[in-house]
Amino acid sequence: MSRATDSKPPERLLELQRRFAGHIRDPDDVAAPGELEERRLAIYRRLFFGTLDNLFSKNFPVLRDIIDDDRWRRLIREFMVEHRATTPMFTEIGREFVRFLDEKRPPGLPAFALELAHWEYLETCVRLAEADPGTVPADRNGDLLAGTPVLNPTLRLAQYHWPVHEIGPHHQPDSPLDQAIVLAAWRRRDDKPGFMRLNQVTARLITLVDESPDASGRAILERIAQELKAPDPAAVVQSGADMLARLDDREIVLGTRKDQ
């Protein structure tokens, strides 16, 4: 049997798979493959749609509560028809949905929908993060000024123009905030989630701790005082020490590096 003959069945199968996938994504506009039984196709249509509905409802519960049932179902169908995922991993489906909202900007959604979805996705990232704050080698009683502060590895920061942490079915703002806010999400040593709104100085402190793995807390705070052009750098350091202590209490900071 020739190579050309050998290649025909796989090619026909590939074409059937393309037609099958196209129909499952968009059954209203893409005809079903005639070779497949309608009863079985109906099962697959319900299965694929129902799986996405379940995943999105669990990953974006607030967004789901805000959007009415009809628009929600159409949104899922739009995702299936218009979006091409870059990963087959179910754990990444939230990222794909946020990317879809960002790229396609589906009509008929609240103006804050994209940022709300991103915030809910960030919460999922924190919950599923493989890093374990309880096993990080940090001195819980270390001097946060003299030593190098250690950040919680599950910590995520993001900036938003809508108060996404407050949005719900009974609180849906009509306009964005006058000034963007920074929100933090992380997982504590006991696996419970933590959320916090940060001011710009605290957000800058956390960023510098992350970017300066060898710097002491004092050195980082002195740099912030310099950036702020503070007339009294010592006062900034003292205030920053209190801030580091609060971050340590919340387990955003886990202590100081042990090898010092």
What is the three-class DSSP state of 239?
helix
- Judged against a pLDDT cut of 80, whether residue 8 lies above it is answered with no
Q: What CATH code is assigned to 134-257?
A: 3.90.930.50
Mean pLDDT of the chain: 90
Percentage of residues of the chain with pLDDT beyond 70? 87
C-alpha 110, offset from chain centre: 19
Percentage of residues of the chain with pLDDT beyond 90? 73
Mean pLDDT of the region 10-38: 67
Range(s) for CATH 3.90.930.50 in the chain? Answer: 134-257
Of the CA atoms within 13 Å of residue 75, those in its CB half-sphere come to 25
Buried b vs exposed e over 21-39: b needs ≥16 C-beta within 10 Å? ebbbbebeeeebeeeeeee
